[in-house]
Amino acid sequence: MPVPATLRTNCADLVEIFSSSQGEGPLIGCRQVFIRFCGCNLECAYCDTDHVRDPLCKIETAPGSQAFDTIDNPVPLDRIIALLKHWEDDYPGLHHSISLTGGEPLHHGNILSHWLPELRLLLPIFLETNGTQPSILASLIDDIDYISMDMKLASVCGFETPWNLHKDFLNKSEGKITCVKVVVDVNTPAKEINTAAEMVAALVPDAPLIIQPLTKNNAIHISANRLLELQAIALKRHKDVRIIPQTHRFLALL
Ligand code: SF4
């Protein structure tokens, strides 16, 4: 029997919901509720994010406890609203925003068009995205407050950088980009950083470009000298370029 449309948009396949400190980008250190969606439209070579659909979604029992219950996937919006209201009542002022992460949250654009207006009544919406689905972004932009967008560099990801999609995405971001992030490693050439910095400078000049060293198996895959070289190259094109690693890994945060 076909699934009713309302059920399809009321429920989403999620990996987990938890409360932690943002570990990347300019909102680093802000306390957020993280909603991690299953699935992604890309296959980055370095990806170690658990976004494969499981029959169960993990839900933190209390903010920051790192203890989890599980519920069946797909998870209904009502369940999430009830959880967040409960957390907001018990811990007023704790959370800066809701981070939609993944996987790729925009993979669930149809569901988000129903979810975002309701979630945003509770907290501002922070979207973490790979920046490759501009038309979906355009359909949701009115209900998004902050966007952290990745640019996928070929040297690290193992596929051609989708420059045109990134460009279109930035053009549709309506001033909500808080940062553009590039993951780099020892193979990242100056040319890629140049192109990324030029695009950020041209399209979102007030947004910082974050150079994030690739961290895998708890090791950083680029030297400090090379990171500084890449930053110097990018600063010739864009005024605000920062080196920020994934801090949550060092702190053993979720
Ligand atoms: S975009 Fe993110 S979640 Fe998707 S494959 Fe790349 S690193 Fe993994």
Q: What is the pLDDT of residues 197-216, one digit of tens each?
A: 999 999 999 999 999 999 88
Contact 239, 205 (CB under 8 A): yes
pLDDT given for residue 5 in this prediction: 53
- Of the listed ranges 24-33, 105-114, 153-162, 194-203, the least confidently predicted one is 24-33
Could you tell me the pLDDT band of residue 25, with boundaries at 50, 70 and 90?
confident
Q: What is the pLDDT of residues 218-240, one digit of tens each?
A: 788 899 999 999 999 999 999 99
How much distance in Å is there from the Cα of 40 to the middle of ligand 1?
6
> Residue 200: CB partners within 8 Å, gap ≥ 6?
170, 180, 207, 209, 238
Q: What is the mean pLDDT of residues 116-144?
A: 98
Contact 115, 78 (CB under 8 A): no
Mean pLDDT value across the chain = 93
Residue 251 has pLDDT above 60, yes or no: yes
User: From the alpha carbon of 150, which atom of ligand 1 is closest?
Assistant: 1
Phi/psi region, residue 25 (left: phi>0; alpha: psi -120 to 50; beta: rest), is: left
pLDDT given for residue 120 in this prediction: 97
Residue 185 has pLDDT above 60, yes or no: yes
In 54-157, the DSSP E strands lie at 56-60, 68-72, 75-76, 97-101, 125-129, 146-151
Residue 6 has pLDDT above 70, yes or no: no
Query: Residue of the nearest CA to atom 7 in ligand 1?
Result: 47
Residue 128 beta carbon below 6 angstroms from any ligand 1 atom: no
pLDDT given for residue 4 in this prediction: 54
pLDDT given for residue 2 in this prediction: 53
Burial code of 238-250, b = ≥16 C-beta within 10 A, e = fewer? bebbbebbbeeee
Residue 51 beta carbon below 6 angstroms from any ligand 1 atom: yes
How much distance in Å is there from the Cα of 105 to the middle of ligand 1?
11
> Residue 246: CB partners within 8 Å, gap ≥ 6?
23, 24, 212, 215
When computed from its CA atoms, the radius of gyration of the chain, rounded to whole angstroms, is 18
User: From the alpha carbon of 43, which atom of ligand 1 is closest?
Assistant: 5
Tokens of 70: 């599980």
pTM over 0.85: yes
Q: What is the pLDDT of residues 67-115, one digit of tens each?
A: 999 999 999 999 999 999 999 999 999 999 999 999 999 999 999 999 9
Task: Please indicate whether residue 184 or residue 253 has the higher confidence score (pLDDT).
Answer: 184
Contact 178, 27 (CB under 8 A): yes
